[in-house]
A and B are shown apart, each in its own frame.
Chain A
Amino acid sequence: MAAKAVGPVKRSFAPWRDPASAPFIEFRNVTKRFGDFVAVDDLTLTIYEREFFALLGPSGCGKTTLMRMVAGFDEPTVGEVLLDGQNLAGVPPYRRPTNMMFQSYALFPHMTVEANIAFGLKQDRMPKADIATRVEEMLALVKLTPFAKRKPHQLSGGQKQRVALARSLARKPKVLLLDEPLGALDKKLREDTQFELVDLQQKLGLTFLIVTHDQEEAMTVADRVAVMDQGRIIQVATPAEVYEQPNSRYVADFIGDINLLEGRITVCNDGFIRLDCGVGGGTVEVDQTMDATPGENGWFAIRPEKMTLSLDPPENPTVNCIAGDVWDIGYLGDVSIYHVRLAGGATVKATVTNRTRLVERPISWDDKVWLTWPRDAGIVLTR
């Protein structure tokens, strides 16, 4: 699940850690209202030059609205959007050095694929020969060379999506806004295109802002991701940080699978936390530094792949160990997911890598099992 090495090897690039680096796209306390409805709520966000930044969040949380404010189709109700230090307020879309790939594609129906891609280049008064070369290059990139002369209505959904992508890429804008650019593509083509995108972004030194519903994609391509909810940003961090150190139950739950055990914090020292999770969870000890006071409520969050499942009880079954019955087994080929019902009635999930060819797994329905984990596997969350 975590960042797989699908794209090219990531450079060590972390301008957000360097206080001296200048922001490139900046949202300053931006609020966007549609009537009474607040689509973006007092949002502050900084994106750096050459960054590949992904927006993640449930449908309707304001991702498209955020992009439209960078592209210039919507103006913030409150606050400002800056690009390269310049306030964008009042700059019309056709004067912004940004290009957007629309979620609905918005291909010009009366133009061929070729003409669609060339449209932006013609606006820039690029010489004809250069336009032809660039269009060819873009067609090759999205693997649509044989379809150059077709009209949009003669294309499949995935092909349309690729034309839209090529059209937005053609001008090689300083900022590229991609609103779910690869959603309609099959897995293979999607991975290839992801690779090409990252490659292109690095070669040309562009800044990409991408919206995706596919968290695996976000983790693959992005330098940083922002997890949004109801017009607010909940966490901005690198994919690994968001996955391993979510700052809230919302983020932990949104990215990947997670088990949450509710409990009360009993000890909170520098680098060590003990949590009492009651009947189902027992005592949980975590190596973690956090600001909490004993007596406070907390949630122990642990990913299914970080627990060890066993038919025999461990040496010390009182700490970092829960016992239960196998309730359900999901076989996914590479891994199996065990749903274990705890004494308190809650269920937790644990994944086990299928290392043998055995069709009959040693652990079966209704077996009594023990789940254990080391102290650095999970994380305690207080919100």
Chain B
Amino acid sequence: MSATDRSAPPTPGNRPNPARWLVVAVPYLWLFLLFLVPFVIVIKISLSLTAIAQPPYTPVFDLAGGIGGLIDGISEFTVENYLWLTEDALYARAYLSSLTIALVSTALVLLVGYPIAYGMARAPKGLQPTLLMLIILPFWTSFLIRVYAWIGILKKEGLLNQLLLWIGVISEPLTILNTNTAVYIGIVYSYLPFMVLPLYAALERMDRTLLEAAADLGCPPIRAFWKITFPLSLPGVIAGCFLVFIPVTGEFVIPDLLGGSDTLMIGKTLWAEFFANRDWPLASAVAVVLLVILVVPIVLFQNHEMKRAEREA
């Protein structure tokens, strides 16, 4: 074994090799162009001032001005927008409300998603690809259209109210649309696949003889779920929660379409600053602060994923 190793030529992986660099460079180039560059631009705008101009802020870097123009531009940077965010309580409330809604809806998605994922993982092996397909199927229709569809379901004369009236559960139509309830329904519906898929992966991988072993040692099924199944599915729970929590915090479409005027979410605030007030610098500052807030869960998530990858290696 070792003799053949020594006589074998060095494997390509051991030596820097142009093809290998290319493979590494492509995703980095992608990330650089599509994430880092736009983000730097957003930071730059957040440090500018509004102006009645095109684009609606100053300074605007003039590449023709060379290094001197650049330094002039930078000297005009201001943190005024950030100060403004702390002065008006509206923003703090919007951030807080976003985080609360994200937290509550993550819990709801978990509550709904876990039984679904569990059922899928325990379904007959032949049926599982079909079930997986059904979970992914909604992605084939535009997100926007699916959220619109909920308006039709939730409105006063909508399908849900008609159904409930017809069954006789209620005598007056319920007001669901344009409330936080509608927002929660929309979020749970839209983000369910992001929870179900990692949960399913974790549950499906679990060795079922572990449950037999638990039963053999005198542990009834429900206790075995809490002692064995749930702890072993935790990586999936954590991954699913982050995948829901992080994007929901900045969610705009769902609260805008299904929520009411009192539904306060930072995504809506951001949209209003951009399009209603045309205050690009302030909107950018809102976006940057949102990102900073989310950096904490994102880093936690990354750590978690890295640890899991290590454990599995």
User: Which residues of A approach B to under 8 Å, CB–CB?
Assistant: 71-73, 92-94, 98-100, 102, 104, 106-110, 119-120, 123-124, 153, 167-168, 171
Contacts and interface: CB of A to CB of B under 8 A. Distances in A.
Nearest to B217: A120
Contacts of A107: 213
B112 to A, nearest CB: 25
A106 B217 contact: no
B217 A167 contact: yes
Interface string B218-238: 111101000110011000000
Contacts of A94: 215-221
Given A106-B209, A106-B210, A100 B232 contact: no
Nearest to A98: B216
B232 A93 contact: no
5 contacts: A71-B212, A106-B209, A108-B214, A110-B231, A119-B219
A71 B216 CA distance: 7
B207 interface: yes
Contacts of B216: 71-73, 93-94, 98-100, 168
Given A72-B216, A94-B220, 14 more contacts: A73-B215, A93-B215, A94-B217, A102-B209, A102-B213, A106-B213, A108-B213, A108-B228, A109-B232, A120-B218, A120-B219, A123-B219, A168-B216, A171-B218
A107 B209 CA distance: 9
A366 B246 CA distance: 83
B217 A123 contact: yes
Contacts of A109: 210, 232
Given A94-B220, A102-B209, A119 B214 contact: yes
A8 to B, nearest CB: 28
A147 B220 CA distance: 28
Contacts of A106: 207, 209-210, 212-213
A109 to B, nearest CB: 7
Contacts of A102: 209, 212-213
A98 B212 CA distance: 12
A234 B226 CA distance: 44
A138 B282 CA distance: 67
B203 to A, nearest CB: 14
Chain B interface SS verdict (over half):
helix
Interface residues of B, number: 19
A153 B311 CA distance: 9
B215 A171 contact: no
A102 B215 CA distance: 13
B216 to A, nearest CB: 5
Contacts of B209: 102, 104, 106
B217 to A, nearest CB: 3
A123 B210 contact: no
Nearest to B218: A123
Interface string B185-218: 0000000000000000000000101101111111
Most chain B CB atoms below 10 A, which of A93, A99, A110, A120: A93
A94 B207 CA distance: 18
B36 to A, nearest CB: 38
A110 B213 contact: no
Contacts of B228: 108
A237 B212 CA distance: 31
Contacts of A98: 216
A110 B232 contact: yes
A108 to B, nearest CB: 6
Most chain A CB atoms below 10 A, which of B219, B223, B311: B219
A119 B228 CA distance: 11
Contacts of B231: 110
Nearest to B208: A106
B33 to A, nearest CB: 41
Most chain A CB atoms below 10 A, which of B212, B215, B216, B218: B216
Contacts of A124: 218
Most chain B CB atoms below 10 A, which of A98, A99, A110, A123: A123
A108 B218 contact: no
Contacts of B215: 72-73, 92-94
A181 to B, nearest CB: 14
B189 to A, nearest CB: 32
B63 to A, nearest CB: 56
9 residue pairs, one from A and one from B, having the closest CB atoms: A120-B217, A123-B218, A106-B213, A93-B215, A106-B209, A94-B215, A110-B231, A123-B219, A100-B216
